[in-house]
């Protein structure tokens, strides 16, 4: 009861902010609810910080509810379907993820970009935007300013991809007879689900393909999302080893292990088994929607805790990093599609 009383007002505040952000986000999917929530939170932060009673609940939302959102995300993953239909794009997915992470690490060292921001942008660019950042932030103990910085960078290149890629795909000669090539391209080279959907839907409407491109792009995107599992586990192990080396003391992997990822895997397995037994995907739709709403709540909480002045002052290098990852992923995706005969 003490926990509820302590956090209630802050959690309710984040929920109240998330409702209009979710509604408007559905009206403008290219922007999306999470980005609107984090912007609104930043704008309202000076007023909210005057009320100390909100602070515990806001912190709880930005940390714990963010983890709950990742767990619920698993209910949108039918592993059997994803692996069967995503196998064609798997080499491209693996190579684009590796490219983004290598670029993020290289620029972290060369341009002296903070390690946690580099990790968040590298993972967010290569896997699934906000969802990957949501899963990674607790594992590396990123603070709210770092999460806000990464989300802002990912958002910028999401918008550019959704607006530019359909015209770019036409210019370089993607087939308009099927949605396969552009669907794989959108699914591997666009960061967040909302922008993947927007770009693929635009291609379908231009070439009158129904939902061919969208179906392909979303499947590839879901396959990419599975990379959250090995990436977060590897980061947890790396963090525990690094802490051990720094402190000279033995650090238990259990202390830094992201147990919420195990629940994410469990949710995915439940969905897979249930759907194999004939349960409709619609049965899991409410949990998927709740996951999206929790992410919006958490982004609003992060906005409340973000120092906008600090964000603006430190913005140039993270944007350069996001741009470099974006270009690298795009180029690798195109080269591999050409080599594999998809395009």
In the predicted structure, residue 281 carries a pLDDT above the cut 70: yes
- Taking Cα atoms as reference points, which of 291, 328, 331, 341 lies closest to residue 71? 291
Task: Spell out where 101-239 has E strands.
Answer: none
pLDDT at 333: 93
pLDDT at 244: 62
DSSP, collapsed to helix, strand or coil, labels residue 30 as coil
d(CA 302, CA 18): 12
pLDDT at 325: 95
In the predicted structure, residue 119 carries a pLDDT above the cut 90: yes
Q: Percent of the chain having pLDDT more than 90?
A: 32
Model confidence pLDDT, tens digit, residues 303-322: 898 777 777 776 789 999 99
In the predicted structure, residue 229 carries a pLDDT above the cut 80: yes
Mean pLDDT of 205-209: 89
Q: Phi, psi (5° rounding) for residue 322?
A: -60, -40
Task: Spell out where the chain has E strands.
Answer: none
Q: Percent of the chain having pLDDT more than 70?
A: 94
Model confidence pLDDT, tens digit, residues 240-262: 777 665 555 554 556 556 778 78
Model confidence pLDDT, tens digit, residues 69-94: 888 888 888 888 777 767 778 899 99
DSSP calls for 257-285 = --HHHHHHHHHHHHHHHHHHTT--GGGGH
Model confidence pLDDT, tens digit, residues 153-201: 888 888 888 889 999 999 998 988 888 899 999 999 988 777 888 888 8
0.75 surpassed by pTM? yes
In the predicted structure, residue 58 carries a pLDDT above the cut 90: yes
d(CA 277, CA 106): 46
Domain ranges within the chain, ordered by starting residue: 85-291+309-339
Helices (H), 74-143: 79-86, 90-110, 115-126, 130-140
């Amino acid at each position: 009861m003490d926990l509820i009383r302590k956090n209630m007002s802050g959690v309710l505040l984040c929920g109240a902010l998330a409702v209009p952000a979710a509604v408007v986000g559905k009206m403008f999917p290219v922007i999306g609810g999470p980005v609107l929530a984090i912007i609104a939170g930043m704008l309202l932060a000076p007023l909210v910080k005057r009320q100390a009673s909100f602070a515990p609940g806001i912190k709880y939302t930005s940390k714990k509810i963010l983890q709950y959102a990742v767990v619920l995300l698993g209910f949108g993953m039918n592993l059997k379907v994803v692996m069967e239909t995503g196998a064609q794009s798997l080499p491209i997915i693996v190579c684009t993820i590796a490219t983004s992470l290598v670029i993020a690490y290289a620029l972290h060292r060369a341009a002296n970009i903070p390690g946690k921001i580099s990790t968040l942008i590298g993972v967010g660019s290569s896997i699934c935007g906000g969802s990957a950042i949501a899963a990674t932030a607790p594992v590396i103990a990123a603070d709210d300013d770092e999460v806000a910085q990464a989300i802002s960078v990912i958002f910028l290149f999401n918008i550019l991809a959704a607006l530019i890629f359909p015209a770019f795909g036409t210019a370089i000669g993607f087939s308009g007879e099927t949605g396969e090539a552009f669907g794989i391209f959108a699914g591997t080279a666009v960061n967040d689900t909302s922008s993947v959907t927007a770009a693929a839907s635009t291609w379908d409407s231009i070439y009158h393909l129904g939902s061919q491109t969208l179906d392909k792009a979303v499947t590839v995107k879901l396959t990419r999302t599975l990379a959250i599992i090995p990436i977060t586990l590897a980061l947890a192990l790396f963090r525990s080893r690094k802490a051990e080396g720094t402190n000279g003391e033995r650090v238990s992997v259990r202390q830094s292990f992201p147990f919420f990822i195990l629940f994410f895997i469990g949710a995915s397995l439940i969905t897979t088994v249930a759907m194999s037994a004939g349960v409709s995907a619609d049965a899991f739709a409410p949990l998927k929607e709740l996951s999206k709403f929790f992410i919006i709540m958490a982004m609003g909480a992060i906005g409340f805790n973000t120092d906008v002045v600090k964000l603006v002052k430190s913005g140039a290098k993270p944007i350069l990093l996001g741009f470099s990852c974006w270009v690298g992923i795009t180029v690798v995706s195109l080269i591999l599609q050409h080599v594999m005969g998809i395009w």
